[in-house]
Amino acid sequence: MIKEADNMRKEALALIETRGKTGIIGALDIMPKTSDVKFLQRVNIGSGMVSVIYTGEVAAARSAHDAARNLSEKLGEIVSSNVIPRPHLRIYDLIMQRSGDTTADTGSSKNRKQALGMIETDGFVAMVEAADSGIKSADVTIPGWVTVGSGLTTVFYRGDVAAVHSAVEAGCAAAEKISRVVSTHVIPQPHAGTEEAAPIGKFSGESTFPKTGPDSALGILETRGITALIEGIDSGLKAASVVIQGWEKIGRGITSTLFRGTVADVRSAMDAAVKNAGNVGEVVGSYIIARPHEELDKGK
């Protein structure tokens, strides 16, 4: 295992991301023909965006990357591409993780609250660059990543507040050289309900989700991208005594969550959620139903 880890530290990652399958098939074929590289993973994040990742010595990875990029540009649309010379070992595992799988142990506990950092990018390749640069720059952990459609892909950092801020700053600066950074955000101390409801890392603690009656008021928050949604969830939970009923990917990068509680509490939670989510990203819609009809739960 030690020898394998040493070998991985010497290697590089070559990443190609295209819109459409033709360019990726071309990249998959030409990269190992060009130089001594090995296939690592293929990732599909929706909206026609597909990434392929090969690994090998730095020079070999660069040669494979250049050949694949030149060919893919002729065959279709290149979204982004990158070579990471000596990726952090966590990045290999991150690439193999599925979207939304944030079961990696972040070291968080009830006795040691950790800050949460997020970088949301346009595409998978830029997210990997953000993850690598961030974890190299500060003492943070990366529990996982998630995509919500339209190429919007987010990496999560956990650690002390200062370290998370450093990781987000470094990750954002690096990702901007690859593709568009949609949003970044740091929550110094996430609410326990945010920890449990959102895909931000391994939750350790007792459930904060009591049951609510069907006559509870209902608040709907909808954002573009998950970074703004998580800030909305956290702000709402901190503003009033409400319950979060999970979150959902709607499609085309739109995400939503539901608050339940008394009318007054839901209004307070929604006011805070809409305001703070809007400071981070785009609020697509919000609505409060004071007395939901009993049929609503069947179709929501």
Can you tell me the distance from the alpha carbon of 114 to that of 200, in angstroms, rounded to the nearest whole number?
A: 11
Provide, rounded to the nearest whole percent, the portion of the chain with pLDDT above 70: 87
Whether 210 maps to a domain, the answer reads no
Can you tell me the distance from the alpha carbon of 135 to that of 128, in angstroms, rounded to the nearest whole number?
A: 11
* Domain termination residue (choose one: 70, 87, 104): 87
Count up the domains in the chain and report the number: 3
Whether 255 maps to a domain, the answer reads yes
Can you tell me the distance from the alpha carbon of 268 to that of 63, in angstroms, rounded to the nearest whole number?
A: 56
> In this structure, are 103 and 184 located in the same domain?
yes
HSE of 133 in the Cβ direction (CA atoms, 13 Å)?
Answer: 23
> In this structure, are 126 and 178 located in the same domain?
yes
- Contact between 52 and 16 (Cβ < 8 Å): yes
Length of the chain equals 300
Q: pLDDT at position 295, please?
A: 60
Whether 40 maps to a domain, the answer reads yes
Confidence bin at 291 (pLDDT 50/70/90)? confident
HSE of 242 in the Cβ direction (CA atoms, 13 Å)?
Answer: 36
* Domain termination residue (choose one: 197, 228, 255): 197
Does residue 174 sit in helix, strand or coil? helix
Q: Compute CA 129 distance to the chain's CA centroid, rounded to the nearest angstrom.
A: 13
User: Comparing 166 with 103, which gets the higher pLDDT?
Assistant: 166
Whether 208 maps to a domain, the answer reads no
Confidence bin at 264 (pLDDT 50/70/90)? very high
Range of the domain at 287: 217-299
State the CATH number of the domain containing residue 224. Answer: 3.30.70.1710
Whether 204 maps to a domain, the answer reads no
For residues 71-81, average pLDDT:
95
> In this structure, are 104 and 65 located in the same domain?
no
The tens digit of pLDDT for each residue in 221-245 reads: 999 999 999 999 999 999 999 999 8
> In this structure, are 56 and 109 located in the same domain?
no
